[in-house]
Structure 1
């Protein structure tokens, strides 16, 4: 009877190694039997290829046993507890994290889930937390040299401390710089440009002792809903200063657009690009004396669908190339581009109207990162089960937080038809809700969203028309019924919760159904585990590449 001296007897303790041993025994046909050793026992030599294969299995087992979970709070928490990752664990530069969503393209993964927990109680764009207030005094708007009337107006709305983006942006605007500001959604960007504009308009009015016959400040936004919202904030700030704000939005005929300017010229105009282009082509207004041009939601405004109209608008405005040009006697306009992500085509458009070197870039440290103060859950679910899962979460929210007021929910769908179909399904289940989607007239959409903001209803089914810039401070839960088609859309949708002055325990729930959605989720989970920004996002303003002119060589 022969004895086999291989040295891998410990492999039999696992299924993987049993499989390797079975392959090893099969390979014994090729083993060479050496002469008997000194002990008289024949020795079978194992080929080097088989030894390497077994060694690789041992190394893989060691790697898989690395635990990313330590004592304390969990950053990533999933159905498979072995894949959890604690807040205290940090991946190495070249480590490849093991994902909870790794096998989600398989049909057996339905029902799996993982959560990116909120590891901070306060939003990163808030200038100081309650603990920091004890250690050092908190900055207020008085330190930003804002007029007393504006500060008192803010205090009546319980706005006392400026956010980080406001601390960074307001002084630069006051000094006359052109600004490109990119910061998280809900970080207070609207006030960061309206406050210094109102302050400077008031000073100009006091110096001239009369109202200006031209529009002095204009805010361009992509949708009528956002125009009404920005105008509402602007009107509140204008009241104590004796200034006037008007709105020109889409969905109106040329007659109504002309009617806005028949009653005189406002100090501040909030407009959508389509309506503004109509007014400029019919010479309803003159922008030659404009002092401030704000392009809000710049990532959308510099998109190809709006960039041509925006470029036409910019051609009617003299943009300053230096802060000195904003003063007498030149009095050129300051350009303020504001957004939650850096627009890809900003360099191409702005280079035609001003020197890019004159633009001050203000970029948030957490730009393009997942918000650390918002819980985000990803659920792999079959398409036909999404309605039931949605109903389950809505009931759970009602049970946990009780009555209306702070339980507002936004449910995002990718298509208008899905919004309508989902609405019919929820009606059959007895779930009260309202709907807003792009096929509705702009006037109707504005009225519906206004009622939602006033707590008339708590559940709003919508498309991405409601994901850009709108104030949703009372929203506690965002549901991606259809997973967004890009990381940019995900950032904007998730930004509807966790806003400055809003609910502190906001949550995002995303249903994941299709394989292409899994690929986006895996990139989001990888970024969350590595504590890095989402991939594929613009992060800098660049000079446009020079166009290559083809010339024929002379022979």
Structure 2
């Protein structure tokens, strides 16, 4: 009985399964056939969606770009300020943008794009040299060095140097310095800042000696000018000695050790590098106890953390005068102002960029807001509008060939060129590379001797050789009026360095066909160029102009270390 029942159950089970299978087979005929795997189909759908989204975004961006110029602001489509390989990103004189966060930037494409090597961007000449005073107003028509308060003997000395009229910064700053006020003076490179302080201070020293002949002594100079390098000390010394010859005062240039190329005519005014000031005082070569005038030239560099400690130590040993006290003294007359400076010495800080760390450094010694006249020009921290500037997006291994091409072209037409690199070993390599390829080249960096540096610079300035490879040692303050092309083989990573380097050309008295070429090979290069491009498109000063490189590096290292610590904690 059990066996029979079991067989019957099995038969019924088989019959039911067959019926189910037949019904499933009928339903399967109506199902779609799978042609591709499901995961691939999903991926393809996502790709199509992203492509449509990107196309819509491009159309939207083009519309914003076409509408970005203000409708109520006319710009000149015939004057191109920025041109590039992608003409859609060109910028014209007077053009403005509605959406500041949607400004078209060539440098932005260089950051995000993978195939941008070979592209270029050009900043065209679109205005005259901002250092030149356009004589339109009655005030400018009557502006002469005599009208600024300089005596005839000083004016004659200036005119003998073929300088006929004052620049904008000279008009603004010389009267304040003659009033014995503390001054922070910042202006674009090549605008005549050396004459801003030398002419009035030499005049005041001359007048002091006339009224106080019994108080004069070679051991007690009345003026001290501090500069960051030997080359700049010698250059300032030559100008000072020329003016002093007319005024009958002595000038001593102290650069430390041989060679000494400038003879001392006295010690009424001393020009020295910062490293020599304290040692010479300790050796009793001179004393600053009766000093009336202290000038810190290239103050953005000297107030850097690299030199800042020595400068602050010097300022801490003297008493800086109080401008507010001088302004409130109604009984002031010419004779009293010619006496040994009451209440402290006069401090003048001069630079091509406004030091951002002055409140942190100089503020420890004196209140800047109340005790200084802060004078700057409209062109400060702006892109030079009178010099063409080219940016070449190029692979790092292609730079040497582009360099040789540009330099040989300059040599053929007798165009003096300076090639800048970020390190001395790079400068030396470029020096050997160009000489090995038939281009006579000089060099200027910290690894060669003082004598060789002097000889190389003089040969370049005299025109004996038109090519020099240098580091930023050659970018601060040196008068290179003959230079017509600056090449940044290594792109500077800081805007302040770019301003100083490019300022070696397009100076007062330079020819009008000056050029700056920059090789853009690395991401930090592009980030620096982005700041320049954004400033020019918005017609505003460049952001983050800070020469305090050591401080910036410390901040970056601190940020990197903090990031490492955070990652380590996350792993734990």
TM-score, with length taken from structure 2: 0.78
* Equivalent in the alignment of 1:340: 352
| 1:421-460 alignment runs, 5 A limit | 421-460=429-468
Matched residue, 2:93: 87
Within-5 A mapping of 1:508-527:
508-527=516-535
**Counterparts in 2 of 1:269 and 1:124: CA distance versus 1, 3 Å:** same
> Which residue of structure 1 aligns with residue 493 of structure 2?
485
Residue 242 (str. 1) matches residue 255 (str. 2): no
The yes-or-no answer on 1:142 pairing with 2:123 is no
Shift of the 421–70 alpha-carbon distance from structure 1 to 2, 3 Å rule, reads: same
Change (3 A) 1:134 1:498: farther
Cα 1:333–1:382, aligned 2, differ >3 Å: closer, same or farther? same
Deviates further, 410-419 or 91-100: 91-100
Q: CA deviation at 1:23?
A: 6.1
TM-aligned CA deviation for residue 433 of structure 1 = 1.2
Which deviations, in whole Å up to 9, do the C-alpha atoms of 1:135-177 show, x marking residues without a partner? 9725211211212122112222210110000000000011110
- Measured in 1, the distance between the counterparts of 2:170 and 2:265 equals 32
What secondary structure, in the 3-state scheme, does the structure 2 residue paired with 1:165 have?
helix
Counterpart CA distance in 2 for 1:270 and 1:203 is 20
Q: Distance in 1 between matches of 2:469 and 2:355?
A: 27
Report the counterpart of residue 233 of structure 2 in structure 1: 227
- SS at structure 2 position matched to 1:237: helix
Q: Which position in structure 1 is the counterpart of 2:221?
A: 215
Residues in 2 aligned to 1:86 and 1:108: alpha-carbon distance in whole angstroms: 26
Describe the SS at the equivalent of 1:457: coil
Superposed, 1:42-81 pairs within 5 Å as: 59-66=60-67, 71-81=77-87
C-alpha distance in 2, partners of 1:302/1:79? 41
**Is contact 1:67-1:82 (8 Å) kept?**
no
1:291 touches 1:326 (CA, 8 Å); kept in 2?
A: no
Aligned to 2:199: 195
Alignment of 1:105-504 (within 5 A): 105=111, 106-120=113-127, 122-128=128-134, 132=136, 137=141, 139-209=143-213, 212-213=216-217, 214-250=220-256, 252=257, 266-322=267-323, 323=326, 328=339, 331=342, 332-356=344-368, 357-398=370-411, 402=413, 404=414, 407-504=415-512
1:76 aligned counterpart, secondary structure:
strand
Q: Which has the higher helix share?
A: 2
Which has more radius of gyration? 2
Which moved further from structure 2: 59-68 or 484-493? 59-68
SS of aligned partner of 2:121: strand
Return the offset for 1:427: 1.4
Question: SS of the residue aligned with 2:427?
Answer: helix
208 and 57 in structure 1: CA distance in 2 versus 1, 3 angstrom threshold:
closer
The aligned residue for residue 104 of structure 1 is 110
- Offset at 1:24? 11
RMSD: 3.0
Unaligned runs of 5+ in 2: 1-43, 70-74, 330-335, 548-572
Equivalent position of 1:38 in the other structure: none
Shift of 1:354: 2.8
Distance in 1 between the 2:285 and 2:433 partners?
Answer: 47
- List per-residue Cα deviations over 1:465-523 (Å, max 9, x = no partner): 00111101101000000000211111111111111122222111000111221111122
CA distance in 2, matches of 1:385, 1:26: 38
Q: Is the 8 A contact 2:493 2:524 kept in 1?
A: no
Residues 1:411 and 1:56: Cα distance change in structure 2 (over 3 Å): closer
Q: Which runs of 5+ in 1 are unaligned?
A: 1-21, 28-48, 540-555
Normalising by structure 1, report the TM-score. 0.80
Residues 1:23 and 1:300: Cα distance change in structure 2 (over 3 Å): same
Q: Does the C-alpha gap of structure 1 residues 74 and 462 become closer, same or farther in structure 2, counting only changes over 3 Å? A: same
